[in-house]
Amino acid sequence: MKERILVTGGTGYIGSHTVVELQNSGYEVIIVDNLSNSRADVVDRIAQITGIRPFFELVDCLNYADLDAVFRKYPGIKGVIHFAASKAVGESVQKPLLYYRNNLVSLINILELMSKHNVPAIIFSSSCTVYGQPDKLPVTESAPIKKAESPYGNTKQINEEIICDTVKSGVDVRAILLRYFNPIGAHPSALIGELPSGVPQNLVPYLTQTAIGIREKLSVFGDDYHTPDGSCIRDYIYVVDLAKAHVVAMNRILQDKQKEKVEVFNIGTGRGLSVLELIHAFEAATGVKLNYQISERRAGDIEQVWADPAYANEELGWKAETSIEDTLRSAWNWQLKLREAGIQ
């Protein structure tokens, strides 16, 4: 019998790639998503990639009764991967209550229902945003959590605390918190990828939209930071590598191999790349010239952050393997596919 995993936000960007990897590893997947930031046809695309159609429930995690019904409809769920959340940093500053409600209440509902239905394992999507600007680089999991820069970042910090307090309370729940760095790229099939709504806020979708002519110019936000070329540094991780980290984490938690009931892992490459380095890597990987200009710093940006992934490498036995060139080619192929499909 295949083990059942509930994936909230499973038609979203990281969720869809993770569903593919879970199915490829022999898990049975039930997706719960309210399609607030994804499309229903992602389910068809996952089925096209893996040959297996995941179960799909159009349910809002804020709706306790509907979510309860999902747990009842699919008995024997072994674990939950909780991706469902609102994630736009800028929007969270404009609409803090929407972010606090969606990101906190969804998690509370999930945790309550896990207890009610005896589901013992949760993997949670956290973020390197919890570190703010770290004092030491590369950043390890034991670095202090800095005051959040945005309501979105704050929800991730509070989410982590809610999970820790719940586990501490003695209920039979174990957790792995994965702190993602900057996920980019798309599945090699170009059937699933990131679908930014409106003007992209993140670097890589803005870059590929500029390269294809949807946007005129990419602005590089600042070249006067204390970094070798003056632009900000991040740890860009291929979304398929990130997806695989969830499978390894789920195996670990279900096989009872955890050292603590709550474990935290940095999921990054360990390689810091500047904005300008990333642009040049894109041009080299795709042969496409990019129109860009240096502009003002963006308010709230961290100067530089990249992961020390040693703990994940050693304990999880997981490592980001894909080169930045292959990753950026996958992002470009996805952008080309979107044009072909007339989506963007």
Nearest-approach distance from CB 60 to ligand NAD, in angstroms: 4
Contact string (CB under 6 A) for ligand NAD, positions 25-54, x = contact: -------xxxxxxx----------------
**What are the helix (H) ranges across 74-199?**
89-94, 96-100, 106-116, 151-168
Position of tokens 């090699």? 188
Q: Which of 125, 166, 231, 286 binds ligand NAD (CB under 6 A)?
A: 125
Does 326 sit near ligand WQD (CB under 6 A)?
no
Q: Which does 272 bind (CB under 5 to 8 A by kind): ligand NAD, ligand WQD, none?
A: none
Distance CA 331, CA 294 (A): 22
Does 62 sit near ligand NAD (CB under 6 A)?
yes
Does 107 sit near ligand WQD (CB under 6 A)?
no
Does 89 sit near ligand WQD (CB under 6 A)?
yes
| Among 152, 180, 236, 292, the one annotated catalytic | 152
Distance CA 316, CA 101 (A): 32
**What are the helix (H) ranges across the chain?**
13-24, 41-50, 64-73, 89-94, 96-100, 106-116, 151-168, 203-211, 239-254, 275-286, 310-311, 324-340
C-beta neighbour count of 255 within 10 angstroms: 8
Does 86 sit near ligand WQD (CB under 6 A)?
no
Interactions with ligand WQD, residue window 226-245 (CB under 6 A)? 232, 234
| Cβ nearer to ligand NAD, comparing 183 with 222 | 183
Interactions with ligand WQD, residue window 284-303 (CB under 6 A)? 298, 301
Per the CB < 8 A criterion, the answer to whether 175 and 124 are in contact is yes
Q: Which does 220 bind (CB under 5 to 8 A by kind): ligand WQD, ligand NAD, none?
A: ligand WQD
Distance CA 77, CA 117 (A): 8
Distances (CA, A) of 56 to 30, 34, 46, 110: 6, 10, 11, 17
Q: Which of 50, 140, 201, 313 binds ligand WQD (CB under 6 A)?
A: 201
Interactions with ligand NAD, residue window 83-112 (CB under 6 A)? 83-87, 102, 106
Active site residue 238: no
Interactions with ligand NAD, residue window 245-304 (CB under 6 A)? none
Q: Which of 162, 221, 323, 336 binds ligand WQD (CB under 6 A)?
A: 221
Per the CB < 8 A criterion, the answer to whether 239 and 184 are in contact is yes
Distance CA 162, CA 152 (A): 15
Task: Return the closest-CA partner of residue 262 out of 126, 129, 150, 86.
Answer: 126
Burial bucket for residue 157 (CB in 10 Å: 0-12, 13-18, 19+): middle
Q: Which of 5, 6, 7, 12 binds ligand NAD (CB under 6 A)?
A: 12
Q: Which does 106 bind (CB under 5 to 8 A by kind): ligand NAD, ligand WQD, none?
A: ligand NAD
Sheet with 262-267, strands from edge to edge, namely 55-58, 28-33, 4-8, 77-82, 121-127, 174-180, 262-267
Contact string (CB under 6 A) for ligand WQD, positions 5-44, x = contact: ----------------------------------------
> Could you tell me what percentage of the chain is helix, strand and coil, using 3-state DSSP and rounding each to the nearest 5?
40, 20, 40
Cα 266 from chain centroid (whole Å) = 12
Q: Which residues bind ligand NAD (CB under 6 A)?
A: 8-9, 11-15, 32-38, 60-62, 83-87, 102, 106, 125, 127, 180, 182-183
- Positions that interact with ligand WQD (CB under 6 A): 87, 89, 127, 129, 182, 201-203, 206, 218-221, 232, 234, 275, 298, 301
Name the residues annotated as catalytic: 152
